[in-house]
Amino acid sequence: MAGKDYYGTLGVPKNAPDKDIKAAYRKLARKYHPDVNPGDKAAEARFKLINEAYEVLADADKRKKYDQFGSDADQAEAYARAQQQARQQAGGYGRTQGGGAPFTTYEPGDMGDLNEVFENLFRGFGATAGAGTRTGGRRPARRGQDIEHPIELSLEEAFNGTVRVMELHSEQPCTACQGTGRLKNAVCSQCRGAGRVIKPRRLEVKIPAGVKDGSRVRVAGEGNPGVGGANGDLYLVIKVAPHPMFKREGDDLLVDVPVPLSTAVLGGEIQVPTLKGNKLALKLPAETQNGKIFRLAKQGMPRLNDTNRGDMLARMTVVLPTNLNDKERALFEQFKKMRPN
């Protein structure tokens, strides 16, 4: 991509010594490192650009070439084409020393009208340094990048659905330079030539009931802005925290229900808790074994985009009596005599 401002990216002047470049790189790389900004695509893009800039500016040869011709092969090509075009148009222009290879040296002061040819070419390339929007040239519409953002929910929130207000850091076109990266022929100081800036913004998002751990919820149009194209989408990556009582098994919910020994043996009614906070009465048959699971239909998790629900799996946990008094102990002894095994 032509016209990238590597000095601007690193925030150093063009004559910065190597050690300043290195220091600036280290500082920025730490700030935008993906480990520090998990899921933040804008930071990731910035991190890549910082690395790209450093790779060039830290290398004496590459830096020299960059200083002369710009960021990469596109510009070498543009330069070669500009030379050719200039020769065709005006004879004498496009003077090179040493015979036509794109990386021969020239003095910027010699450029004359060739500069204009350059400008025009860059508009065609949709360069950030150029004025593509001014000429309305051939700059292709580009859809904005999708971004991902993690969201942690409680199981109750996943059960009921919820609304979250999030603080996102996303790419916005730079308002100072209208996204061109340049102001009055200098690098825009607001975005340092990137044409885009990272800005915080608040967004209210609705999380539908029934989302699962690992679900991706798409929020259309809330990704990074496009350039002449549609905005990207925001994807919320859902993490559902484990619940101390309820275990999710697909759309079903498993819960351990304590049952007094006498109720398990004789049968009776117990209360099964739910995620709504209320309790459901469950009639136990006599001689219900420890660990038996009763299925309560449609009392589990809601299903995404569906009116159906999973089931509640109530697992019986028989609780043995403790602190027996003399009379109770006598009864157990009596029972043991009747049922020695």
Looking at 177, 187, 270, 313, which residue binds Zn ion (CB under 5 A)?
Answer: 177
Q: How far is the CB of 27 from Zn ion (least distance, A)?
A: 20
Q: CA–CA separation, 126 vs 4, rounded Å?
A: 11
Nearer to Zn ion, 5 or 311 (CB): 5
Query: Hey, what amino acid is at 285?
Result: P
Joined tokens for residue 19: 């050690």
Q: CA–CA separation, 132 vs 182, rounded Å?
A: 12
Q: How far is the CB of 188 from Zn ion (least distance, A)?
A: 3
Looking at 114, 174, 236, 284, which residue binds Zn ion (CB under 5 A)?
Answer: 174
Helix (H) or strand (E) segment spanning residue 183: strand 182-183
Does 188 engage in binding with Zn ion (CB under 5 A)?
yes
Q: CA–CA separation, 3 vs 26, rounded Å?
A: 23
Q: How far is the CB of 123 from Zn ion (least distance, A)?
A: 18
Q: How far is the CB of 194 from Zn ion (least distance, A)?
A: 7
Pick the closest to residue 237 from 223, 217, 207, 251 (CA basis). 217
Nearer to Zn ion, 41 or 196 (CB): 196
Sole window of 3-11, 173-181, 205-213, 233-241 interacting with Zn ion (rule: CB under 5 A): 173-181
Contact 17, 29 (CB under 8 A): no
Nearer to Zn ion, 188 or 272 (CB): 188
Nearer to Zn ion, 21 or 177 (CB): 177
Q: CA–CA separation, 194 vs 71, rounded Å?
A: 13
Looking at 57, 191, 211, 234, which residue binds Zn ion (CB under 5 A)?
Answer: 191
Q: How far is the CB of 177 from Zn ion (least distance, A)?
A: 3
Q: CA–CA separation, 186 vs 26, rounded Å?
A: 25
Number of H helices, E strands in the chain: 10, 13
Q: How far is the CB of 145 from Zn ion (least distance, A)?
A: 18
Q: CA–CA separation, 340 vs 320, rounded Å?
A: 18
Nearer to Zn ion, 56 or 191 (CB): 191
Q: How far is the CB of 171 from Zn ion (least distance, A)?
A: 12
Q: How far is the CB of 53 from Zn ion (least distance, A)?
A: 16
Nearer to Zn ion, 191 or 313 (CB): 191
Give the torsion through C-alpha atoms of 183, 187, 193, 199, to 10 deg. -60
At 159 the three-state DSSP class reads: helix
Nearer to Zn ion, 176 or 282 (CB): 176
| b/e burial code for range 9-33 (CB count within 10 A of at least 16 → b) | bbbbeeebeeeebbebbeebbeebe
Q: How far is the CB of 116 from Zn ion (least distance, A)?
A: 23
Sole window of 33-41, 56-64, 91-99, 175-183 interacting with Zn ion (rule: CB under 5 A): 175-183
Nearer to Zn ion, 84 or 175 (CB): 175
**Residues near Zn ion (CB under 5 A), total:** 6
Helix (H) or strand (E) segment spanning residue 286: none
Does 190 engage in binding with Zn ion (CB under 5 A)?
yes
Please report the sign of the dihedral spanned by the C-alpha atoms of residue 257, residue 260, residue 266, residue 268. Answer: negative
Joined tokens for residue 310: 């999973």
Sole window of 109-117, 170-178, 199-207, 282-290 interacting with Zn ion (rule: CB under 5 A): 170-178
Does 227 engage in binding with Zn ion (CB under 5 A)?
no
Nearer to Zn ion, 192 or 248 (CB): 192
By CB under 5 A, name the binding residues for Zn ion.
Answer: 174, 176-177, 188, 190-191
